[in-house]
Amino acid sequence: MRSWRRRLYLVRSDRKVTGHQPEKSLRRKIRQLTYKHPTSFWAKLVVETHWRFYHLLLFFATLTGYIPVHSVRLLLYRSVFRVDIPKDSVIYWRCRFFAPSGVHIGHHSIVGNDAFLDGRAGIHIGDNVNIGSQVLIYTMEHDINSPTFGVVAGPVVIGNMVYIGARVTILPEVRIGSGAVVASGAVVTKDVEPWTVVGGVPAKFIKQRPELSYRLDTSSKKAFFQ
């Protein structure tokens, strides 16, 4: 499939994939144009411009992750890239995104350094969640059984007081219940029950975790160069 045709397909199928938020007027007009005149010069130009701007946005979001000041990074994530994150939560440096506006983070939560957050189909992180370094959260992937190697997608929902260890990979359409713990290096392919500990590839039940109530102290974790 030609590059512009593939991009046109992704733009036209974006509503079906992400369909969690109301469309904005500009995006709706782009869809109307591409549906009515899919092979016209203007449709191809709009699709190419859309994707170039999107990739440029991701580039600047990546650069923002290298700013060694929490308050500046948080300001840019919230105001420019539209990450839904309160001021009492923390994203450590060198985080990378797909669709940063699809990432929603609750209060007093921490995302470790070098994380990857794929917000294309929506990531919802609860309160008092501790996410370790180099964690990968995907909301879209290719269907290896599809004759066209098509894309499948689904949101990732992480409940309150979840602890996700370093280098965990979470795949699309997974729900991790409140209070659950995911051991380092695990690959989560299915839902995780609340207050359980899971680990391994793929992640499997290890033991129960006692039900607790706490609030993470994020005020002391905003040092420079982190």
CATH 2.160.10.10 positions along the chain are: 83-208
Residue 202: φ, ψ to 5°: -75, 165
pLDDT digits (tens, 9 = 90+) for 120-170: 999 999 999 999 999 999 999 999 998 999 899 999 999 999 999 999 999
0.85 surpassed by pTM: no
Question: What is the model's pLDDT at position 17?
Answer: 42
**What confidence tier does 196 reach under pLDDT thresholds 50, 70, 90?**
very high
pLDDT of residue 49: 74
- Exposure of 38 in the CB half-sphere (CA atoms within 13 A): 9
Query: What pLDDT, in 10s, does the model give residues 47-76?
Result: 677 678 888 989 999 999 999 989 899 999
83-208: CATH, from 3.90.1150.10, 2.160.10.10, 3.40.630.30, 3.40.50.620: 2.160.10.10
**Please, how many CA atoms are within 13 Å of residue 35, restricted to the half-sphere of its CB?**
10
Of the residues 20, 55, 104, 142, only one is catalytic, namely 142
At 2 the pLDDT is: 45
The Cα 211–Cα 67 span in angstroms is 37
142 is catalytic: yes
